Structure 1
Amino acid sequence: MYVVVNAAMSVDGKLSSRQREQIAISGPSDFDRVDRIRAAADGVMVGVGTVLADDPHLTLDVEDRRVHRLKNGRSGNPARVVADSRARTPPDARILDDEATTYVLVSSAAPTDRLEALGDAGAEIITAGSDQVDLKTAFDTLETEGVNRLMVEGGGELIFSLIELGVVDELTVYVGTKIIGGRDAPTLADGDGFVTDFPTVALESVDRMDDGVLLSYTME
């Protein structure tokens, strides 16, 4: 599986404020760029924290891109994927409508009643791992379902986990003009953090976009 991580962050590296509410960091040009990346992907992934905070839809904004996918024998929208060890995704979340297939990755510790509620809401459940989602195993299952190119949109805990596992191929980061601050505000890579063997990236390009800058990297 080819994994592309995309994020927008403030000047000081925050994805949102300490209240975890959605903040507009980029502008129209970057929104369109993100939609193009989604259109090229087989799946779009977020962590359950993003679902609970933002209730994203994760579908394409531009109708022509949906039509193009359909003409090429693909679904109109890429599949939606949620990393959710305890099955906390609300059954009425927007990602569980009928606009695209939605896979919820859970651990075997997820409560049965929550799994049943998600299944009734239309989610495809993939169980991998005993306490936390085993992402590598879950990704293997996603590949058997035709998800060969995955776009990851956050949040910081999920991005850190994927970098730690060494499964990220590309990283694109839009850096806006806001300063958010706050020691408890989420950053690009949260989790436990690295203390040795720090991963590094290779800078491929720097582009001015809207009022900020787009940084494109490949993982080394």
Structure 2
Amino acid sequence: MHVVVNAAMSADGKLSSRRRDQIVISGDADFERVDQLRADSDAVVVGVGTVLADDPHLTVKDETLCRRRLEEGQSEHPARVVVDSTARTPTDAAVLDDAATTYVCVTDAAPVDSRMGIENHAELVTAGDDRVDLLRAFAALEARGLERLMVEGGGELIFSLFEAGLVDELQVFVGPTVIGGRDAPTLADGEGFVDEFPTLALESVRRLDDGALLRWTIGGR
């Protein structure tokens, strides 16, 4: 399995404002890059916080890319994966429509009624007691044929993936704006590392729109 974390952040490392509003950081060129990255993936992964805040669809926008996937014998859109320990994903969320297969990763602690409601629209992957065990969940996704995963956030999930040693590649668009705020979300939230920090190897830097796209591989992977 190959896991790519993709994000857009401000010049001061923020994904959004302290109010967690959706902020446009990228331009057209980066939107096209992200769409290409989605089209090249078997699944797009987000945490439930992103679903609740933004209600993303997580589908490929460019019709040419959709046709290419179909010509290659794939589904029109990659699968969608929501990491949702307590099954908070609303049953009317855009990510649960019939545009693509959706997997929702939950725990044994998730309320039965909530799990049953989601199960009418998606396939449940149960892994962990109180918090999704990402190693088990991703192994279950790999067993379902999902080999290349693109992670689109948020910061809590991204930190947890680094903590679990599951990230192979990090792509970050750094946009030409400053957001600020000690409580504004960053690329990797969660508890944070205090030692044994993940090691990144810079593979490329290129100008894109009025910002820069940075690509790292992780720990020599």
Same fold (TM over 0.5): yes
- CA RMSD of superposed structures (Å): 0.6
The whole-number CA distance in structure 2 between the counterparts of 1:88 and 1:214 is 33
Shift of 1:199: 1.0
User: Which residue identity does 1:215 align to in structure 2?
Assistant: L
The whole-number CA distance in structure 2 between the counterparts of 1:215 and 1:201 is 11
Match of 2:196 in 1: 197
Unaligned runs of 5+ in 1: none
Shift of 1:18: 1.0
Query: Could you say what secondary structure the match of 1:69 adopts?
Result: helix
| Residue correspondences, number | 219
Match of 1:26 in 2: 26
The whole-number CA distance in structure 2 between the counterparts of 1:162 and 1:156 is 10
The whole-number CA distance in structure 1 between the counterparts of 2:87 and 2:21 is 21
Tell me which stretches of 4 or more aligned residues in structure 1 moved more than 4 Å.
none
Q: Give matches, 1:119-134, under 5 Å.
A: 119-120=119-120, 122-134=121-133
User: Which residue identity does 1:133 align to in structure 2?
Assistant: V
The whole-number CA distance in structure 2 between the counterparts of 1:200 and 1:23 is 29
The whole-number CA distance in structure 1 between the counterparts of 2:21 and 2:105 is 23
Query: Could you say what secondary structure the match of 1:29 adopts?
Result: helix
The whole-number CA distance in structure 2 between the counterparts of 1:88 and 1:178 is 32
Q: Give matches, 1:94-109, under 5 Å.
A: 94-109=94-109
Which TM-score applies when normalising by structure 1? 0.98
Query: Could you say what secondary structure the match of 1:110 adopts?
Result: coil
The whole-number CA distance in structure 2 between the counterparts of 1:25 and 1:60 is 19
Shift of 1:184: 1.0
Match of 1:219 in 2: 218
Shift of 1:76: 0.4
How big is each residue's C-alpha offset from its partner over 1:46-92, in whole Å with a ceiling of 9 and x where there is no partner?
00000000000000010111111111111100000000000000000
The answer to whether structure 1 residue 159 and structure 2 residue 143 are counterparts is no
Match of 2:11 in 1: 11
The whole-number CA distance in structure 1 between the counterparts of 2:99 and 2:34 is 18
The whole-number CA distance in structure 2 between the counterparts of 1:145 and 1:22 is 32
Match of 2:70 in 1: 70
Identity of aligned residues (%): 65
The whole-number CA distance in structure 2 between the counterparts of 1:55 and 1:207 is 30
Shift of 1:192: 0.3
How big is each residue's C-alpha offset from its partner over 1:133-178, in whole Å with a ceiling of 9 and x where there is no partner?
0011011110111100000000000000011111111100000011
User: Which residue identity does 1:219 align to in structure 2?
Assistant: I
User: Which residue identity does 2:69 align to in structure 1?
Assistant: R
The whole-number CA distance in structure 2 between the counterparts of 1:38 and 1:58 is 8
